[in-house]
Amino acid sequence: MSVTAFVTAALAAVAIVASRGLRQRAQAVVLPVATGVLLLALWHLWAESTRYEIATPGEPVRTVEVFPTPERTLVAFRELLSDGRLLRYSIASLFRVAVGFLLAAAIGIPLGLWAGWSTRASYSINPFVQALRPISPLAWIPIATLTFGIRDEAAIFIIFLGSFFPIVTGTMSAVRSMPVAYVRSAHNFGLRKFELLAHVVFPAALPQIITSLRIALGVAWLVIVAAEMNAIQSGLGFLIVDARNMGMRYDLVVAAMLVIGAIGIGLDFLVRRLERIDSVRWGFTKE
Amino acid sequence: MTQHAQGGTHFQPERFGDFPTMKEALIARKLDATFMIVPLAMKLVADGVPVKIVYLGHRDGSALTVAIDSPVKDFTELAGKRVAIPSRYSNQHLLMRRMMKLRGMDQGSIELVEMPPPEMPGALAAKAIEGYIVGEPHNAKAELGGYGRVLYFMKDLWPQFISCGLVVRQEVINERPELVQELVRGIAASGLWLDDDDEALAIEHRRRASEVVGKVFYNQDPKLLEHVLTKPLERVSYSNLVPPKATFDEIMDLAVEMNVIGRRMAFEEYCDTRFAPDLGVLPRVTNFPPPPAASGTGAK
């Protein structure tokens, strides 16, 4: 057990408690940093606790590492960075997620608008959307392989499924919860059905649709590991699956996990920016 | 050996669906012994995981399967085609590379893709791959399903093929050698029983093994296992199970040459053959119990 890690963890814990006295803006910096340091120290201690020694007769005693420490993971991260895999695989994964997500939005938003607007459409579509929604994309992997083979399309299909259902459901409920007054006044202006959908219903529902897109993008990124599990030769999900297949490269697994998390934060940040655009804000939700 | 044997220690079998999970259980010391693809075991040792191969479970037992209507009649015709292998660290992979070498083909001429074995028959049926090379029962599945045919049994590609070895944690070897000894003796005795010199008896024994193993341990269709074990009998053999140094050296050389393992290791570094029993004095299996009523509980 390394003393340094214990001391670091203790110092971080003290900083968290002591930051109570600081001003709000200082706390906004101190708290995440201190919590991050605390988590790193705990990770290190936990990794160390999985180490064990083995004494084979006739051989020197040696220590066996089981779980990678943060330091080992950093080395693996540098390895991925310097041989270009990190960039290549991130782009491959982002490309698949972009295509799958955009397809899901392109089909899911119109379908959701329609099902939210027309009771008949809702009766026909809703039960099946709700029945398919809770099925994990993992369960679809064999079907994706049987349908698309072991190509990009199979991975994109899995991502599409992951984001399609939140988009349809979100859009549908956005339309349903729209104030009746909007529709009545639109009728008074003599708007036709399509104009009504395009110029009143869609913009009014847009803020909630964006929220559902945000959730859907999160899910799309979440399923990247599942999507890239099957014989796809690139991507961050593939990196995890591939590293698991190797002898002892769990440092690569953890490094890839952290990269997936970091990119996830980045994606969420971008969609949040989308929510702030003025033309989106006129909807009925209060911010 | 197990609850179905004549006394002794009860070794608890555990079924895993893929190699990585099994490997992780072994690394985390939640699993003491396992049958593992040989190059992966070598790789683990090279990476500092204290394990040793102490015995083999079987010989041959793999096949190269193609679609029933595939035009491929000879190994060289697989050039430009996509063939699934169970893992880069499988001897099936090394066999494919060895065959390409022997037939004077370019190392990249057959596109090899890694795929979890249970998904191979489906991928073949869906024409996502031209063929696959893997251990049973995944070849028999495609055969019995009517969409696959065996292009080669191992006797045609690499006779006495070694796929898996019995891998035991060094700690267990150090601390409980008598347990390892008992396990290996049990496996050796089972092998003798399944490979009885009298062919009719061997078939009879394998039939009974299919029933018990299928129902009690792995929830596999006994008909499928019977096909694997008896059609033909030499699809898999249970003799010559002491890890042979010459073959293992060849596997090691191939693995290093094909960049599967980083450094060449001496046989003793990853093998420990001291537990191999003298087959001549090994007690014979005599009262193999009848298959129990199907209770569906599976292995505990």
Q: Average pLDDT for residues B176-197, to the nearest whole number?
A: 86
Residue B265 has phi, psi (to 5 degrees) of -115, 150
Nearest-neighbour CA in chain B from A253: distance (Å): 12
B87 close to A (CB below 8 A): yes
What's at B99, amino acid-wise? M
B9 pLDDT band (50/70/90 cuts)?
Answer: confident
Residues B87, A241: Cα–Cα separation, whole Å: 11
Contact by Cβ (8 Å): A207, A285: yes
pLDDT of residue B297: 36
Same domain, B152 and B74: yes
Mean pLDDT of A205-216: 89
Between chains, do B40 and A248 touch, taking CB under 8 Å as contact? no
How many CB atoms are closer than 10 A to CB B162?
A: 27
- Region class of B60: left (phi > 0), else alpha (psi between -120 and 50), else beta: left
Q: What is the total count of domains within chain B?
A: 2
Confidence band for A286, pLDDT divided at 50, 70 and 90:
very low
Q: Which residue has the higher pLDDT, B199 or B149?
A: B149
Q: Which of A169, A137, A167, A131 is nearest to A155 (CA)?
A: A137
Chain A residue with CA closest to B44: the answer is A247
* Model confidence at A1: pLDDT above 70: no
CA A238 to chain B, closest CA, distance in angstroms equals: 11
Residues in chain B with CB shorter than 8 Å from the CB of A57 are 174
Q: A146 vs B125: CB contact, 8 Å cut-off?
A: yes
Specify the amino acid at residue A240: I
Q: How far apart are CA A68 and CA A252, in angstroms?
A: 9
- Render pLDDT for B246-256 as a digit per residue (tens, 0 to 9): 999 999 999 99
The answer, for B171 touching chain A at a CB cutoff of 8 Å, is yes
Q: What is the DSSP string of B211-227?
A: HHIIIIIS---HHHHHH
Inspect the interface and report whether the beta carbons of B43 and A66 lie closer than 8 Å. no
Please give the residue that has the higher pLDDT: either A196 or A129: A129
> Helix, strand or coil for residue B33?
strand
The gap between the terminal CA atoms of chain A, to the nearest Å, is 49
| Residue B287 domain-assigned (yes or no) | no
- Let me know whether B39 and B94 are in one domain: no
- List chain A residues with CB under 8 Å of B134: none
Dihedral (Cα; B189, B275, B249, A243), 10-degree rounding: 90
Q: Tell me whether residues B84 and A231 touch, CB distance under 8 A.
A: yes
Per CB-CB distance under 8 Å, the chain B contacts of A65 are 48
A52-56, B166-170, B220-224 — which is least confidently predicted?
B220-224
Mean pLDDT of A229-253: 87
Average pLDDT value over all residues in chain A: 87
- Residue B77 sits in the same domain as residue B184: no
Closest CA to A41 of A72, A73, A4: A4
Q: Does B47 touch chain A (CB under 8 A)?
A: yes
Residues of A in contact with B46 (CB under 8 A): 247
Identify any residues that bridge with A52 across adjacent strands, giving them in sequence order. Answer: A64
CA–CA distance, A263 with A252 (Å, rounded to integer)? 16
How do strand A52-54 and strand B111-114 relate by DSSP bridges?
unpaired
- Within a domain: B231: no
Question: pLDDT category, B131, cuts 50, 70, 90?
Answer: very high
- Nearest neighbour of B122 by CB, restricted to A52, A57, A146: A146
Question: Does the beta-carbon distance from A66 to B27 stay under 8 Å?
Answer: yes
* B132 touches B85 (CB < 8 A): yes
pLDDT at A278: 62
The tokens for A183 are 């529709």
Section B115-143 average pLDDT: 90
Question: Contact A66/B28, CB-based, under 8 Å?
Answer: yes
**Cβ–Cβ gap B119/A66 under 8 Å:** no
**A243 to chain B, minimum CA–CA distance in Å?**
9
Within a domain: B220? no
In a domain, B284, yes or no: no
Distance in Å from the first CA to the final CA of chain B: 14
Specify whether B270 is located in the same domain as B180: yes
**Could you tell me the pLDDT band of residue B289, with boundaries at 50, 70 and 90?**
low
The pLDDT value recorded for residue B296 is 38
Across the interface, of A54, A245, A248, the residue whose CB is closest to B47 is A248
Percent of chain B with pLDDT over 90: 46
Same domain, yes or no, for B153 and B71? yes
Greater model confidence, B38 or B286: B38
Q: Which pLDDT does position A282 carry in this prediction? A: 55
B242 & B183 share domain: yes
Q: Determine phi and psi for A111, rounding to 5 degrees.
A: -65, -40
B77 by Cβ neighbours in 10 Å (0-12 / 13-18 / 19+) ranks as middle
| Segment of A79-93, A201-215, A272-286 carrying the highest mean pLDDT | A79-93
Report helix angle A24-49 to A70-82, nearest 10.
100
- Residue B294: which pLDDT band, with cuts at 50, 70 and 90? very low
Residues of chain A contacting B, Cβ within 8 Å: 50, 52, 54-57, 62, 64-66, 142, 145-147, 149-150, 230-231, 233, 244-249
Confidence of residue B164 (pLDDT cuts 50, 70, 90): very high
Within-domain flag for B147:
yes
According to DSSP H, which parts of A224-285 are helical? Answer: 224-227, 236-245, 250-276, 278-281
Nearest CB to A248; choose among B27, B88, B113: B27
- A-contacting residues of B 227-246, CB under 8 Å? none
Do B70 and B176 share a structural domain? no
Do B186 and B257 fall into the same domain? yes
Domain final position from B107, B128, B157:
B157
- B83 belongs to a structural domain: yes
> Which stretch of A28-37, A265-274, B41-50, B254-263 has the lowest confidence by average pLDDT?
A265-274
Contact by Cβ (8 Å): B195, B239:
yes
Q: Is position B10 within any domain?
A: no
Closest-CA distance, A8 to chain B, in angstroms, reads: 27
Are B114 and B126 found together in one domain? yes
Nearest chain B residue to A150 by CA distance is: B128
- B183 and B67 in one domain? no
Q: Residue A4 has what pLDDT?
A: 87
Q: Is A246 left (phi over 0), alpha (psi -120 to 50) or beta?
A: beta
Lowest mean pLDDT among A231-235, B134-138, B139-143, B186-190: A231-235
Instruction: Cite the beta strand spans of chain B per DSSP E.
Output: 33-37, 51-56, 59-60, 62-67, 82-85, 111-114, 131-135, 148-153, 164-169, 236-237
Confidence of residue B119 (pLDDT cuts 50, 70, 90): confident
Q: List CB contacts (< 8 A) between A66 and chain B.
A: 27-29
Which residues of chain B does A52 touch, with a Cβ-Cβ cutoff of 8 Å? 29
B245 and B146 assigned to the same domain: no
Q: What is the DSSP string of B243-283?
A: PPHHHHHHHHHHHHHTTSSSS---HHHHB--TT---GGGSP
- Residue B3 belongs to some domain of the structure: no
Which one of A54, A55, A150 has the shortest CB-CB distance to B128?
Answer: A150
**Residue A162 Cα, gap to closest chain B Cα (Å):** 22
Query: Which of B90, B72, B84, B149 has the alpha carbon at shortest distance from B118?
Result: B84
Q: What is the CATH number of the domain that holds B88?
A: 3.40.190.10
Nearest to B128 among A54, A149, A245 (CB): A149
Residue B103 lies in domain: 62-157
Closest CA in chain A for residue B90: A245
User: Is residue B281 over pLDDT 80?
Assistant: no
The residue-averaged pLDDT of B140-166 equals 91
pLDDT band at A62 (very low <50, low <70, confident <90, very high): confident
pLDDT at position B34 over 60: yes
Q: Note whether B125 contacts A: Cβ–Cβ < 8 A.
A: yes
Residues of A in contact with B171 (CB under 8 A): 54
- What percent of the residues of chain A are helix, what percent strand, and what percent coil, each to the nearest 5? 80, 0, 20
Residues B53 and B172 in one domain: yes
